[in-house]
Structure 1
């Protein structure tokens, strides 16, 4: 068994090393079904021991890409390399990969241990080795006491663990997970996400997960590839994807966000905070906005200003000494979500801005409520200028 990465995982970033060799490489991959292009000239590198997510809406090509790696589909054009070896013509059962399906695909007439042992028996391993491997896998997923039960006697979460143990039993170099947690309720799904991360760390394997759940991808991944219509729009760590999206599409797809149409009114070397980038000034239907960000677009260019709700401060009193990054409006709606409240504020010009406020105290009646006239404000490093 591979040695756990442990705390090294926090510093795990082989993609930043120019000398690092990709473990998996999709090279100019195109997949056509008749006139439909499911994957369009895509190139993507994944490194050994990464927990990598393919994230995007239905029909964006993420599952097709995974199925090509597994060998269930062949690329129309391009190559898929695993440890430098071209996988063209290699059947699925000869590839060092294993796939865990959303449906789990367990054999209902077999016990848990028989389900886990099935692939090992097909490979002709000695009975003693099979028994040892099955025991190891059941301990890993904490199902030792359920070995003699059948799938119908298990909960959804337990069946998911059996499917995971069976997928890992053959010790693949790459585990492929196709929407593996979609059938679980939210609380169990969140618990299982952390269990998956622990297992991946312990075994030191490369995990590739397909999901349309943004929170899931943000939780488990070392890096995320956001896909749209067969192409990768951005590849980055969860923090980079969230805090520095490279396009309006990524910004709107990941989490909640305010998007305002704006024009660049000025660019100069002014710095509001030492060590921060120069300031770009925007005009958005009367709102004066300052953003600490480098921006290649010229003065007068139309851009989008993106601002996360949790970075917006909401108050009943007008902030003093400010002439930028401030707006006035009426509380139009409130969503109480337990850990935070989301305020929809209708600005004086009719636009809606969202502001999120953490519920740090146990107050049932909020100090800001429906119909209140409020002020919104945000620091210069809170928002982003998006040019595409």
Structure 2
């Protein structure tokens, strides 16, 4: 069976027509003064899904989450949770908990005191609180740190305390606002996998707000890419990366080369496109209904492009010559910037599968970049 990327888990209720959404945003708009933060947005999220809202600052993702939590009310539209309209229900009565980027821990309380705080507020019996706190400490692997205060913990440990406090009340939905932003890169990567494992173990619905593409791609079952209060695409991480719905999504997610072109002809599921500025003829597989003369964009990821000193056997299409302009070595891969004769930069990436390379490519060499007909995507919007 062909698919975009590997499956993290066999969980895809959005593909089942009979599955009912757990969270529904129905034509939701939120206006602050003369600024529209969320614009007529509709979205479904399913029970036990790890869902990510991804976008640049100001795109509306945090406003959307705050409306679900009850800190803001929609200007129009409805938000449903498990079939219940949330309008008018205050935050403390919603079966939703929110973990903030700052963690918002009480500095004068111990780790166990922070975790127990919400349970005490709910009037839970002491024996039950003690049992629940012990369960949460074990879940986030902080049993040895129960008596410490936040200033005695590392950033990663404070993050886990905040997470334990958020899930201690067993909300139906856990909202995470840039949850890993304060962590260093290595710890952030480790914590991403911990969060994924925890979400599956708890069986909760997680919704995370982030501007970090890698974070969303790693953790989420599906991603909603947002821009100016609207959703541009909702899909699995692999689908968003390999089959972006628009030029905006292609450009926003990861590295990509996007070339302006004109359709010359279409036959047998393949389009021939002229990228006149680059002096390049493109042949690309496509299922889109295209017409000769139509203006399109061709998007191809750097890792799908080959780079060689030798001219390809057939350079009449999907191949162009240029000068090696920049080289970025990342350890696991190397990214090459090739400057074409018209000044366009084409990015090509190569996996460093061996430790040593004979006669490696270097600056100012003339090289050819080329790609297969199924390497890229023809975009019409």
For the criterion TM > 0.5, the same-fold answer is yes
RMSD of Structure 2 on Structure 1 (CA): 1.1
Q: Paired residue for 2:347?
A: 354
State how far apart, in whole Å, the 1-side matches of 2:304 and 2:43 are: 32
Output one character per residue of 1:66-112: Cα deviation in whole Å (capped at 9) or x when no partner: 00000000000000000100001111000000000000000000000
Size of the aligned set, in residue pairs, is 373
Q: Paired residue for 1:228?
A: 227
Q: Paired residue for 1:282?
A: 273
Residues 164, 366 of structure 1: CA spacing in aligned structure 2 closer, same or farther, 3 A cutoff?
A: farther
TM-score by length of 2: 0.96
Output one character per residue of 1:155-192: Cα deviation in whole Å (capped at 9) or x when no partner: 00000000000000000000000000000000000000
State how far apart, in whole Å, the 1-side matches of 2:358 and 2:65 are: 49
Q: Paired residue for 1:113?
A: 112
Equivalent residues of 1:342, 1:356 under 8 A apart? yes
Q: Paired residue for 2:258?
A: 259
Q: Paired residue for 1:275?
A: none
State how far apart, in whole Å, the 1-side matches of 2:289 and 2:249 are: 19
Q: Paired residue for 2:305?
A: 312
| SS across alignment from 2:298 | strand
State how far apart, in whole Å, the 2-side matches of 1:22 and 1:377 are: 44
Q: Paired residue for 1:303?
A: 296
State how far apart, in whole Å, the 1-side matches of 2:170 and 2:379 are: 44
Q: Paired residue for 1:274?
A: none
TM-score by length of 1: 0.95
Deviation of the 1:322 alpha carbon: 4.2
Instruction: Provide structure 1 residue ranges, at least 5 long, that are not aligned to the other structure.
Output: 1-7, 270-277
State how far apart, in whole Å, the 2-side matches of 1:14 and 1:188 are: 31
Equivalent residues of 1:280, 1:294 under 8 A apart? no
Deviation of the 1:367 alpha carbon: 1.1
Q: Paired residue for 1:291?
A: 284
Residues 366, 144 of structure 1: CA spacing in aligned structure 2 closer, same or farther, 3 A cutoff?
A: farther
Deviation of the 1:363 alpha carbon: 2.6
Q: Paired residue for 1:5?
A: none
State how far apart, in whole Å, the 1-side matches of 2:100 and 2:263 are: 48
Output one character per residue of 1:207-238: Cα deviation in whole Å (capped at 9) or x when no partner: 00000000000000000000000000000000
State how far apart, in whole Å, the 2-side matches of 1:296 and 1:38 are: 34
Q: Paired residue for 2:48?
A: 49
Q: Name the stretch that deviates more: 333-342 or 289-298.
A: 289-298
Aligned structure 1 segments of 4 or more residues deviating by more than 2 angstroms: 363-366
